[in-house]
Every structure is written in structure tokens, then in C-alpha cells.
Amino acid sequence: MTKTKTGGTPTASAVTDLPRAEISSRMRRTLRLDDRREPKVAEIAEWIAIGIVEGDLAPGQDLNSVDLAKRFGTSRTPVREALMLLEQEGLVSIQARRRPRVAVISASDISDIYLVRADLLARMVRLVVERASDEQLRDVGLWLDQLRAHAKAKNVDAYFWAHVALQEQLAEIAQNRVLKQILDSLALRTLVLRHRSISRPGRLQASLVDQNRLFEALNGRDADLAAAIIAGATRAAQRAIEDGFSTEPASA
């Protein structure tokens, strides 16, 4: 599968996949890795986090610190620090006398996360309707052009990262610092779940239908409709995850 990402405000004339470095930059911001003094820790944490989000590292998979140290040409100390950092973010499970593993999000966690997420996103789009300028809504329309192109090409990763960037832009337009902080605090676990959802059969086109409807509601300045659409789309994503993936707890 081609690993791509979109970022920034797209242009109307060219809908293209931007460099892999864009994904790295986004993950570093999400993990606040630029604040770390040890570059190797940041490099390892970034690589593992992207692998978990995109499904290259599966839930429950062992994370062998010796193998990771060899991959990155370092001692096991930076690897341990990176794994502990990711444990704090809910991506890695570390238990005594066992190898670290990719965390498995439980059924109850999925339900709780998506219940909160649906409410937060509904509030976000209400604020977008209230506060967005016409120019900002035109920019949202350009992102929609990217989503259409990626869906047509059946490029799941490109669609996923463009959708992530679009929702981040909507959060900025909403201009509510507390709301954005709460969404950011859930970012990593929701990225994992969102990628799982969009990878399910039929979900790419279903998501695109929802994004088209959402844009029409935003453009029409219909806050109630926009909130209903995004909440419904979030619940549909939750159902796709629950139907398609094991939700055994990490300790099982």
C-alpha cells in the first residue's frame, strides 16, 4: 500500500500526495516530540506511532526492544524511553516480565471514545458554521476535492491523512481553544481507530458521501444539519470498528 499524506491548504489546480515527511511532521506535533532533547527517542517513537496508526504494527504485536535497537542503530535505552512515551499515550502496553506490545483498545474504550468524539465534533461544526468566513469554507471545499480524488484512486492512506488534516482545519476555524485541546488529547488513540474504520470494505465511499453532505451543510450555514451529519458519521465509523476488529483487552 502506498504510504502518503496530505497537509496544508491544497490548491485547486493540483490534487497530489505530499511527501512522507508531512506525516512525520504531523506525528511529531501530536506526540510533542520536538520538545524532547534526545533525537533518537523521538525518531523511534515517531516510527512506532505511525506504524501503529497505519496498521503496519498490529494490535497485540510484540515490540522487541533488541530488534528495534538494531533497526535504529542505538542502545536499548532510547527504545525503552520511546516505548514508555507511547505507553503514556495509550499506544503501547508494557507489563512486567513481558515484552512491550501494541496496545489493544477494548470494546468499552471504543464506545467511550466515540461517544465523546461525536459530541465534540458536533459542537465543533456548529462553531464552524457560526465563525467560518466564506474564504475558509472555500478552503474546506478544496480539501473535499482531495478526498474525492483519493477515494476515486482507492488510496486509503492518502484519503485518511487528508481527512485528518481537514478535521484539524475545521477545529482551527471553530476558534475554541479548550475544544481543540480536548480533541488533541484524544488524537493518537482516535487516529488508530479512524484508520481501522476507513480501511473497512465500503467505508471509503461511505465516508466520502458523509463529507460531501457535511460540506453542503456548512456551506449552507445549517448548524443543526452539520452537527447531525458529523455525529452520524462518527457513529457509523464506530460500528465499522466494532464489526471488523477484535476488541480483546490488552491484558488477555
Label residue 35 by pLDDT band (50, 70, 90): confident
Per-residue pLDDT averaged across 113-142, rounded?
Answer: 96
Please state, in angstroms and rounded to a whole number, the distance separating the CA atoms of residues 245 and 153.
25
Per-residue pLDDT averaged across 110-130, rounded?
Answer: 96
The C-alpha cell 488510496 sits at: 155
Please state, in angstroms and rounded to a whole number, the distance separating the CA atoms of residues 9 and 16.
12
Say whether pLDDT at 250 is over 60.
no
The C-alpha cell 452537527 sits at: 227
Mean of the per-residue pLDDT values of the chain? 87
pLDDT at 124: 98
pLDDT at 15: 34
The C-alpha cell 480524488 sits at: 149
pLDDT at 220: 97
What is residue 26's three-state secondary structure?
Answer: helix
Q: H/E element holding 207?
A: helix 203-219
Structure-model confidence comparison of residues 32 and 100, the more confident one? 100
Nearest to 238 by CA among 198, 201, 181: 198
The C-alpha cell 542502545 sits at: 75
Please state, in angstroms and rounded to a whole number, the distance separating the CA atoms of residues 246 and 239.
13
Q: H/E element holding 123?
A: helix 107-131
Question: According to the CATH classification, is domain 20-102 in 1.20.120.420?
Answer: no
Cell of 239: 460500528
How far are the Cα atoms of 9, 85, 163, 187, 223 from residue 121, in angstroms, in the given order? Answer: 21, 27, 13, 13, 12
What is residue 5's three-state secondary structure?
Answer: strand
- Least confident among 141-155, 182-196, 225-239: 182-196
What is residue 102's three-state secondary structure?
Answer: strand
Q: H/E element holding 92?
A: strand 92-93
Note the pTM of the prediction, 2 decimals. Answer: 0.80
In the chain, pLDDT over 70 holds for what percent of residues?
88
Structure-model confidence comparison of residues 252 and 104, the more confident one? 104
In the chain, pLDDT over 90 holds for what percent of residues?
68
Tell me the pLDDT tens digit for each residue of 159-176.
999 999 899 999 999 999
By CB neighbour count within 10 A (0-12 exposed, 13-18 middle, 19+ buried), where does 201 fall? Answer: exposed
Q: What angle do CA 173, 178, 183 make, to 5 degrees?
A: 75
Per-residue pLDDT averaged across 2-29, rounded?
Answer: 55
- Are domains 20-102 and 107-244 of this chain identical in fold? no
Show me where the domains of the chain are located: 20-102, 107-244
Architecture of domain 107-244: Up-down Bundle (1.20)
Per-residue pLDDT averaged across 177-188, rounded?
Answer: 89
